[in-house]
Structures are given as structure tokens and as C-alpha cells.
């Protein structure tokens, strides 16, 4: 069964460093997302992306964050200068469309900022 794949599964970084979280969405999906889950809390929307453009972003997704689809298979989330409060599980997801179809999530990348 096709699945969304995220790497790495766990990343530890020092405050102020840049991190790139990587995702390979399901191959025939064209709509991509990043969500965040701070430990023990609910899953929060960060950004949705289609046709090389951001469709919607939340207030969490400030200038420190960026997304990119560098090639035909990868979808990345970059945090330019990490803060302690960026520590969370980051989920990538993809779907066939924005409206009627469900999003399928990857297994997550746990980011720990020290």
C-alpha cells in the first residue's frame, strides 16, 4: 500500500541551527501538507502546498519556515533558525485533492531543539 515516508525519524539540533525535514508523498498525490504536534497536544496545521505554491499557512508558519518541492518526489520543510519551542513531532501528509479526499500522513519526524 502506498505511504508517505518521512526522514529522519528523529532529529536533534542546537538552537539557532537550520533543519530540513524531508518527505516523500504518495506518488500520484499533488497536494501536500505539514502539521505539527507538540508533545501531548493536538495536531496543528502548518501549511498546505499545491502546484509549487503555498495554498494556506497558519500563524505558526512564520518567516522562519519554508517549504519546497525540489524535485518530482520530495517535499521539504525548512526551519531557518530553530528555537526551543520548535521541538515537536512534524507530520507530512498528502492527498489527491484538497476538498473531498482524505490526507494520508507519514510516520512523523521528532524534532528536538536543545
Q: Which residue stretch of 60-68, 71-79, 80-88, 106-114 sits at the interface with another protein (rule: CB under 8 A)?
A: 106-114
Question: At 3, phi and psi to the nearest 5?
Answer: -145, 160
Window 16-75: residues binding another protein (CB under 8 A)? 31, 33, 35, 41-45, 48, 55-56, 58
CA distance 41 to 13: 22
β pairing state of 75-79 and 65-68: antiparallel
CA distance 108 to 91: 4
Q: Is 91 in the site for another protein (CB under 8 A)?
A: yes
Q: Between 52 and 99, name the residue whose CB sits nearer to another protein.
A: 99
Give min distance, CB of 28 to another protein, in A: 16
Give min distance, CB of 82 to another protein, in A: 20
Q: Between 79 and 88, name the residue whose CB sits nearer to another protein.
A: 88
C-alpha dihedral, 31 to 103 to 69 to 2, nearest 10°: -110
Residue 35 and residue 43 in contact, taking contact as beta carbons nearer than 8 Å: yes
Residues that bind another protein (CB under 8 A): 31, 33, 35, 41-45, 48, 55-56, 58, 89, 91, 93, 95, 97-108, 110
Amino acid at each position: 500500500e502506498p505511504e508517505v515516508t518521512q526522514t529522519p525519524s528523529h532529529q536533534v539540533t542546537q538552537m539557532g541551527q537550520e533543519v530540513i525535514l524531508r518527505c516523500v508523498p504518495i506518488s500520484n498525490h499533488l497536494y501536500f501538507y505539514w502539521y505539527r504536534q507538540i508533545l501531548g497536544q493536538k495536531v496543528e496545521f502548518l501549511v498546505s502546498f499545491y502546484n509549487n505554491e503555498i495554498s494556506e499557512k497558519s500563524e505558526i508558519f512564520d518567516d522562519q519556515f519554508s517549504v519546497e518541492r525540489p524535485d518530482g518526489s520530495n517535499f521539504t520543510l525548512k526551519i531557518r533558525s530553530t528555537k526551543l519551542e520548535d521541538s515537536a513531532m512534524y507530520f507530512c501528509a498528502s492527498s489527491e485533492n484538497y476538498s473531498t479526499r482524505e490526507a494520508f500522513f507519514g510516520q512523523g519526524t521528532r524534532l528536538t531543539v536543545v
